[in-house]
Structure 1
């Protein structure tokens, strides 16, 4: 498996490389963010659960055959511990259709773990998108810092 082009010193670094690789259509850069583990998981909007590096690579290669994926993470919510992190993001995805460019907002969850090689992705799970961003439902924080 190819190693990352830059050190992945934090979950944010790993996430940045993941979205850069999507936007560049760079399969090696994209696969370098994934943990070297048989149980890594990827779910694309409306798609099946894809398990394992080989299956994930094949899925992204098929997607890249149609061009790069213009997905930009927005409104990132983070939960970090010493050796794991969960990011909930709103992805703004732009695609070219027969009718011209279209945008959608996709809700995704990215899970990272700290490994001997740095922070790596173990799960990317994206829900079907909508043309407009869906509102967030949130309560006010109860902890004062």
Structure 2
């Protein structure tokens, strides 16, 4: 069953544009723009690093409102995006570089995220954001593809 349409439409017609709008909303703590990235489906899901699975637009809104109330804008920048796209769905595996202010100053943390998009009647929208803590070293993925130098 579908939820009521979001009041603020996200401009753009591709998963990449919705992803850019999602990260811009994080960086500006804009809850309306954030929620406009999500599909109007009951089963949309969000998992923050180390957190529970949050289901539905109302719960996802509340989770992001809590993040913004506690931390303000989240300085998360997507890097090393890998894509698996089809006509009606897209899966993006993302390394997020997050700036965190600590008592010792600004440090970079890494989060590994999977963002899933579906093509809906309203255009492309996010249906899943699943984030997990990343490692602090330089190797954030294992790629079994042999590297050949020519």
TM-score relative to the length of structure 1: 0.91
- How many aligned positions are there? 140
Aligned residue among 8, 13, 27 for 1:9? 13
Aligned residue among 113, 116, 119 for 2:121? 116
**Aligned twin of 1:91:** 96
Kindly report which structure 2 residues correspond to 1:57-72, keeping only aligned pairs within 5 A, or say none: 57-65=61-69, 66-72=71-77
**Aligned twin of 1:105:** 110
Aligned residue among 33, 47, 50 for 1:46? 50
**Aligned twin of 1:136:** 141
Query: Could you tell me how far apart the structure 1 residues matched to 2:56 and 2:16 are?
Result: 23
Query: Could you tell me how far apart the structure 1 residues matched to 2:138 and 2:64 are?
Result: 25
Which structure 2 residue ranges, 5 or more long, are not aligned? 1-5
Which structure 1 residue ranges, 5 or more long, are not aligned? none
Q: Secondary structure at the match of 2:67?
A: helix
TM-score relative to the length of structure 2: 0.88
Query: Could you tell me how far apart the structure 1 residues matched to 2:64 and 2:56 are?
Result: 12
Kindly report the root-mean-square deviation, in angstroms, between the aligned alpha carbons of the 2 structures.
1.4
Contact 2:10 2:37 in 1 (8 A): no
